[in-house]
Structure 1
């Protein structure tokens, strides 16, 4: 990001407000979200490597598992949530297991199912890195999302239905 765009108020006008494009508001907002996410991921990669010593894709797996307190997730569910091929996921899980960050076990009622869970070592690393990771995400979004962009992103979130009273 260049210095001219360090302040969200100095961001270029959001394309969603130009009004002369071919895309509907929802698609423009989706493209804005993808661009913002890409920017955040780019900044996050180095912090993830430095604080957790894992790849960005491995970090995403750890994040999914961190949201499952006391339990794990099936590998098929992780692949589904991340939109990753199961073969690639198998390699990433093996790397995390080798690093002592996850465990794998067979699911009792399904001989083909494998459940993955965080180890205490991984939980400790995530807790230690949380502040730096959260700051990186917040700072990265602040650099790419200003008031106009927030308004455009609202097109992705449906308005709550009025209660029929």
Structure 2
């Protein structure tokens, strides 16, 4: 290794920090827009997305937590908020009495589908904005070329 080469670890760390910064920037924009336009938070949107795409519109609570990256207790509170809004409800598993499912309602499907285009448009717009920022440009380029 020559003096002018940056060690891989430093390069990896710099790229990871750029990815984390990009992630935070994109998440803030998505969360703000979804809340303002559709009255749902980002976690609620993602839960509705998982439930909308799930067989029979239902998912075990632990699986839902795993899909959206929340703890079991956080997803329980999240589904409670969705239930209060009329977008989902809890149901017991017929095969396993200990199992609890989150089930999307018709109103939840409608809310998710109404918000889906906003999410996609805002994601693209935010990544376009980030690609013009020196701090995020390489990360956006890497993500888009991997897709």
Q: Which TM class, normalised by the smaller chain length?
A: 0.7 to 0.9
Give the 3 Å change call, closer, same or farther, for CA 131–80 of structure 1 in structure 2. Answer: closer
TM-score w.r.t. length of structure 1: 0.70
The root-mean-square deviation of aligned C-alpha atoms, in Å, is 2.8
Query: Which deviates the most, 90-99 or 47-56?
Result: 47-56
What's the CA shift string for 1:109-151, capped at 9, x where partnerless?
1111111121111111222222222111111111223663355
Quick check: 1:106 aligned with 2:96? no
Give the 3 Å change call, closer, same or farther, for CA 152–132 of structure 1 in structure 2. Answer: closer
Task: Determine if contact 1:52/1:125 at 8 Å carries over to the other structure.
Answer: yes
The alpha carbon displacement at 1:42 in A equals: 0.7
- 1:105 is paired with a residue of what secondary structure? strand
- 1:70 is paired with a residue of what secondary structure? helix
Task: Choose between structure 1 and 2 for higher RCO, CA contacts under 8 A separated by at least 6 residues.
Answer: 1
Q: What is the number of equivalent residue pairs in this alignment? A: 139
Give 2:9's match in structure 1, choosing from 10, 17, 23.
23
Q: Where do 1:39-50 residues align within 5 Å?
A: 39-50=25-36
Counterpart for residue 116 of structure 1: 102
